[in-house]
Structure formats: C-alpha cells, structure tokens
Structure 1
C-alpha cells in the first residue's frame, strides 16, 4: 500500500497529461522477485514468436496459406508483447511510474487494435480450416497468394481503423479525477474512468465494437466448426475423420487461449468489484500475455512441420 500512498501524494504534482501506473498493488516490496517470471515470460514471447516467423520464412514447404495465417498471428502476438513490455517491466524495475497522456493513448491504441487483429486472424485461420476440410479440391484455387494478401490487408485495416475513433476521442476528454491507472499499462476503459467529460460516445462505440468484432468473430468461428464437424462426421473412414480433426486442434487451442481470458477479465470487471485490485491487475496481464506466450508453444507442439524444423534447427545449432 506504500506505493498507492506515494501515488496519491503525487497527484497534486501531476498535470492533466500525466498519469500514474499502479502496478501490482500489495506486491511493491517484492517487485525484484515478481520481475523475474515476467521477464522470462516476455523473453519467451519474443523468442517463441520470432522462432515461428523464422521457421516459416526459411522453410519452403511451409509457404502455404495455413502458415501464412500463422505468421500473421505470430506478428500480432509479437507486437502485443512489445507494446506492453516497457511499462510492465518499467514498473517492476522501478524506472517508470508516470506516463504522459499521449503515450498512454498510443499504448491503449496498440493494445486494443492488436486484440481486434488477433480475433480477425483467428477467424481467417478458421476460414482456412473450413476450406481445407469442407472443400479440399478447391483449396489452392480459393486461397491463392493474392487472396491471402487481401485478407491480411483487410485484417490490418479492420483492426487499425475501427478502434481509431474511440481512441482519438480520448485526447479531447478532460481528466479531472485522480490520475491513477488500475493496471501496469493503459487501457481505454481505465482512461474513461478518470474523465469528467461526456463519455457516452466512447462507451456506446466500445460496446458496439466488441459486439461487432470480438463477439461476431466468436460466433462465426463456432458456426464454422459446427459445419466442419458435420463434414467430418460424414467421412466414412475413422482414420480420415481423426486426421481431419487433428488439423484443427492447434487452432481450437489458440481460440480458447484468446477468448477464455477475455471472458474472465470481463467477469472480473463486471462482478468482481469486491475483489482485491491485484486480481484485476493479474487478470489484465493474463489477458495480454497468455495468447502471445502460448500460441508458439501450441503450434510448435501440434504442427509437425514446425516441430521438426525447430528440432533440426536446434540440433544443428547444438552441433
């Protein structure tokens, strides 16, 4: 609680464009120890996603639609790690406590845009699995390099443009409440909580955006897998059914790793007002870090081509 009391005393010295990052409430005396697992997690995020990108780029046999989408996912996860590492570790290493409004808005933009991008890429990967299983004879003619490039541009445009109005609006709000952020990074809802201006546009737009993107993507993924399951059950051979379903396991795991923390964070924010602030902070970090950490592990273990390429690469490095 010493950190909070120091933060409260510092509020009077802040202007309207400076905010205090709360960090991990209750663990201030253990930051040097807490920084160790977080440093390891960020190192694994960077190493794992860079390794996936390197393997896909250097292995000609992986230059296929499924792996192009996986490269998009790895780039998104890598960017998410890079967008938060400086404030999280900055707090734990005690060289960052305050952040300017412009920096906070920029970080908030990247975090939320990358979350939308992750959802969009997972939907595109589901479309890839649907075509591969339900229409395999036309797979190569449907998912051409040109089509994949268009999908990538659409994913980037959708994510970067749709989030922009709400984030830009943050710049013009008046922040008269205590400038204490409840996380170790900046989120849209955190800044709204401190605003004294009319925030109806941001609140309504954010809700509509969540429904029109994350929720819609989840529904489309669910519908796609219902259709995939219907097609698989129609295959006569049991071995072929199992083989077809196994190609979807990695993607299903990635979807769960992305959506389960979002649901958990939403439940905590909506119904966990009585919970310790540390619970909210930890859930926020899980939401940010779990997908970038787990996706390279999931695809490295479940995808035979990537697993073999990494194993051979590590073996050559060892010799």
Structure 2
C-alpha cells in the first residue's frame, strides 16, 4: 500500500510539472504572438507619422489649395498641382478594372459552379501563379509587345509610353486577385440555396446569376475594391510602360505619369533631400495613402452592411 501511494504521488507530481511546463510554454507563445501583433500596428503608425510629418513640411512651402486644385505638375518650375498625377493613376486603374472585373468574375463563376472538382484543384493554383510574376516583367511586356501590337493594328498613332497598354497589363496582373477572392465568396454560399433553386426549376445559369451571385455580393465587391487598391498602388508597370509625363486630361494613347511612378522618379534621381521637390513625394504618398484608405473603409463598410449570414 505504501509503495502504491508513493507511486501515485510521483505520478501526480509529474503531471503537475508537465502541466506547469505546458502553461509556461503557452504563456511564452501568447506573449510572442501579442508582440508580433503590436509590432505590426506600431510599424503602421510609424510609417503614417513619418509620412504626414514630411507632408506637413512640404505644405509649409507649398499651398494646400494649389496642391489639390492646380492642373499643372512641374516641380522643377515650382508647380505642384497633384491632379495630373491623380488623373494618370485613375485612368490606368479604370482600364485595369475594365479588364480584370469581367474576366476575374467569370473565372470565379466557372471555378465555383461549372468546373469539376479535379480541374478546380489545379486550375485555381495555376491562375494564382499570375500573381507571382514580377511586375517588372509585366511592365516590359506592355512596353515591348502590347504597345507595338497596338501601333501595328489598332492605334497607329499610339505613343511609345501610354496608359492603355499599362492599364491592360495591370488588369491582367490583378485578375488572380479578383478571381480568387470572388471564387472564395461564391464557393462559401451554402449548397442548400443552389439546391432550392434547382428544385424550383432554375437552370445552372439562372442559379449562378440570380441566386449565388447576389448571395456572394459583399465578397465580390470586396474583391473588386481590393483589386482597385492593388492597381492604384502598382509601381513598376506604370513606371516602365506609361511614362513620366504629367498629362492632365490626356488620351489613354498618350504618355502619362502615375503617382507611384513620380515617387520612383524622384527617389531614383539625384534630387537633394531637403528640396521642395524631394518633399513633394511625401505629399503625393499621403494622397495615395488616403485614396487607398478610403477604398478599404468603403470595402469594410460594404462587407459589414451587405454580408449574408447563414
């Protein structure tokens, strides 16, 4: 009996030691994960603080009204109207979404509603490979292939640097984003909704367009806004293929300059760090940050407002 009691106490002590060690490991892991979360938050705040601090220094020398309303951007001549850069960014983004939205959405519908499971398992990862192609490759493809193709066939007067080629290739680049996120939203719609539509005599097309798509609308809109944000923030494609000419209300067949391309131009040059021109990249960066922030807030509100719960 004494030996049995001693063995029981030993087993209990060992279990307590293991339990304490396990709890200690859990606390360490929790502290590590919390530190990672706060590190990302503090990093974001640090970027925002530095960005807006430098932007305020720029606005001590340049009028905010001129920056937001002037249609002339020529930093070497003291003209800092950001609207031509915004216009170039929006033109390329609109062209990109015009390409990515229909192709990406139709691809998502096919993968979710029509493709066999075996085909879907390898086709979706193959589609997402496009997202891994370096953007500099897309940029040179637009410059050396798409633009000459347009010049020889559709637009004889197209310039070497233009917005339409950059926008088209940028649309191809964001197709995986729109298609993947939309497909996830469509695939998450309960099977019971589809079966109910089939029971009422609906065809597969009617079920997909009139039942599944409305049910997945919030996720699809989030995918589109995510694609727009990705296009607005794109750098290398617009830098290589669209040019460096700030063009207000120019044709898509002409060269333009996006906001990100201007930042690359100044940073990659020999502009003095304390000059107004150098400080202007922070003002442009702040405007770009606010544009993407508004888009993300709209996406968040739309998903919260129209999300379907099952």
Fold conserved between structures, TM > 0.5 = no
- TM-score norm. by structure 2 comes to 0.31
Normalized against structure 1, the TM-score is what? 0.30
